[in-house]
Amino acid sequence: MIQSGRAKLAGLVGWPVSHSRSPRLHGYWLRHHKVDGAYVPLPIRPEAFTQGLRMLAAFGFRGVNVTLPHKEAALAACDEIDDQARRLGAANTIAMKDGRLEGSNTDAFGFLENLIQGAPGWRADETAAVVIGAGGAARAVVAALLDAAVPEIRLVNRTRSRAETVAQELGGPLRVVDWADRARVLSQAGLLVNTTSLGMVGQPPLDLDLSELPRTAAVNDIVYTPLETPLLAQAAMRGNRVVDGLGMLLHQARPGFEAWFGVKPEVTDELRRFVMSD
Ligand code: ATR
């Protein structure tokens, strides 16, 4: 699709952004839905972030996605913040309307939609979930599971104090578990989620013995390079349902695309193949 003079504009702000798959993802949807628009990578240094956002709004941009290291700074830069962004202390999506910046966070939405699509039999309210990690991604995952009414969340992190901070800030039925007990705590769980970078290309695998995990449990890794992490390979071998991390990236992008370009996009197998194929 060739843009006209009326093309709707959006993009990704981050530093750096060259590794991101978001331009490819939004570019696919723009072509698929024949939208007169463009989604461009926008590398912005931290010191120029707020000014850069204001300039994009002045240029008529409809909005942006926000990635590292700006997600926290985006809260202060926006005129309005939705409840989820405030709760998570970070915004990943900004809508620009008449010069005003409206920040939101769609990571929890993306996580849950991916899980529902990838493990349709999983019932949130029936069993405990085990979440590994306590960074920004873990907060979004925990918030999503709390909203889905998971009865118990066991939060395991190498640095216990970070998990305690997440538990204090998000509240709910959260139990902080020592790193040394990460294998034992899998007993009777219905879901296991890795939110750490362990298992990513160039990182060591997550060292976790799955023998206590029920074979009915779903296992989700938010790492998507590679799509099949050592954790997912190990889980699939013993018969667990596995959900890779690519879908979280794809689903978290849906609300922004709809707000900026006016079309509800879908996550399909063809999209998954396209986004991973470069
Ligand atoms: P993000 O915001 O992307 O989630 P982060 O804040 O850097 O990233 O968090 C990374 C997570 O991976 C943390 O839970 C971290 O554990 P610590 O809080 O103990 O640092 C976890 N992590 C990273 N490398 C790890 C390793 N080698 N072993 C165990 N956990 C690790």
Of the pLDDT bands very low, low, confident and very high (cuts 50, 70, 90), residue 251 is: very high
Q: Is the pLDDT of residue 190 over 90?
A: yes
- How far does the centroid of ligand 1 lie from the alpha carbon of residue 195, in Å? 8
CA–centroid distance for 41 within its chain: 18
Residue 71 known to be catalytic: yes
Q: What is the pLDDT of residue 226?
A: 96
Q: What is the pLDDT of residue 89?
A: 97
Average pLDDT over residues 203-225: 97
Average pLDDT over residues 104-114: 98
Contact residues of ligand 1, CB 6 A cut-off: 133-138, 157-159, 162, 195-198
Q: Is the pLDDT of residue 24 over 90?
A: yes
Of the pLDDT bands very low, low, confident and very high (cuts 50, 70, 90), residue 2 is: confident
DSSP annotation of 178:
-
CA 227, 228, 232 angle in degrees (round to 5)? 130
Question: Which is nearest to 182 in space by CA: 121, 134, 239?
Answer: 134
Average pLDDT over residues 65-72: 97
The phi, psi pair for 226, rounded to 5°, reads -85, 165
> Which protein residue's CA is at the shortest distance from atom 21 of ligand 1?
196
Q: Residue 264: exposed, middle, or buried by beta-carbon count in 10 A (0-12, 13-18, 19+)?
A: exposed
- How far does the centroid of ligand 1 lie from the alpha carbon of residue 159, in Å? 8
Q: What is the pLDDT of residue 200?
A: 97
Q: What is the mean pLDDT of the chain?
A: 97
Q: Is the pLDDT of residue 119 over 80?
A: yes
Q: Please tell me whether residue 184 adopts helix, strand or coil conformation.
A: helix
Answer yes or no: are the C-beta atoms of 210 and 238 closer than 8 Å.
Answer: yes
Of the pLDDT bands very low, low, confident and very high (cuts 50, 70, 90), residue 278 is: confident
CB under 8 A, 24+ apart: contacts of 267-276: 267/113, 267/117, 271/25, 271/28, 271/29, 272/246, 272/247, 274/24, 274/28, 275/21, 275/24, 275/25, 275/28, 275/246, 275/249, 275/250, 276/21, 276/224, 276/227, 276/246
Q: Which one of the listed residues 8, 34, 71, 264 is annotated catalytic?
A: 71
Of the pLDDT bands very low, low, confident and very high (cuts 50, 70, 90), residue 73 is: very high
Of the pLDDT bands very low, low, confident and very high (cuts 50, 70, 90), residue 38 is: very high
